[in-house]
Structure 1
């Protein structure tokens, strides 16, 4: 895994200066791909450019997406950041642990680290699209960090790990792309509703549990196809067609 294969995703950033500062931090540590999801400020205006200093090229190359799912569709691994704890925000990694996880991916794998809006952070629905949650331990008097500062902490740890050879824990196997994982989870949700396993009033409760169990295993494309075949078979049998 290298710096070229890790992108930074900002979801609905509200401050142009913050976007520019993030671009500068990225270039400080050797990262070059910035993605923006429905930005609430211009990343090409004077304020962003002034804060980016010598990283204006990152702003000019930044891609803008309609939603987070699209921004992560070509990623093999996504890490979402949060300062909040509680339900659906469990087993959090510190930045150094997250960096170790990313560095252990196959060399050709692609990852993303996702940051939420400055005022609210990532929603639970956003974290559903990420295989891991990352948190930065801070003092309780002021736990929330400035966006660019948070990005700096995470990228600093990643740059340390990427600068030294890391063991490929996947043995060269790349995890499935985000878009294919999401298609599998959507199919699973539909089938489990169909057979009555999920509560139609709150299906996401168990779906999130399945996400935690499966997504973190680093499922390959082949394994995702096996699971999709399983959901197809369950649906086929449930509709009363019997065993083929």
Structure 2
């Protein structure tokens, strides 16, 4: 299979598909560098330890190989080959997922000795699934995860990944969704996402945003 790439010949970065174990080890290391909030790590990532990194990398690879909707892209610095950004997209062209806890079940082994925290984490995920079930009712693309190396922010890396996903959704005639943090809201708006449901209370503040596909007519034939 050919590797999808987006490259500006005058730019220092290149976007390609992420799919190798080395890719995911680097992506997980970057994710922990980017997201330092203990609450987010507890729910979506796990402990910042060698075993924790290996577990999350393995989880991402397993999901990629077992979930046909799962797509990862990476942005590398051309000079060094260093991964400086990554994003995970879910492309549901036909059937819509059931939106159940199992879809995002990390196992949360790091919380197995704290039943109260474990139940709280499962409650957060169940709440997210409830919103998806009520809103994501037709085939769609979803920006599931997106992050840029803090040392490389404001250099267009996030925009490269958003452009790739927006172009894909347009070509597939699909709307796009993202569960946005307040920090990411501005970037998503630049690409046409609009707030549909906003949560301004609790630890998981943010909004669920939707982007309509921009469909241009295709003419041809004889």
Q: Which TM bucket (shorter chain)?
A: under 0.3
* Larger strand share, 1 or 2: 2
With normalisation by structure 1, the TM-score equals 0.24
With normalisation by structure 2, the TM-score equals 0.25
Q: Which protein has the larger Cα radius of gyration, Structure 1 or Structure 2?
A: 1
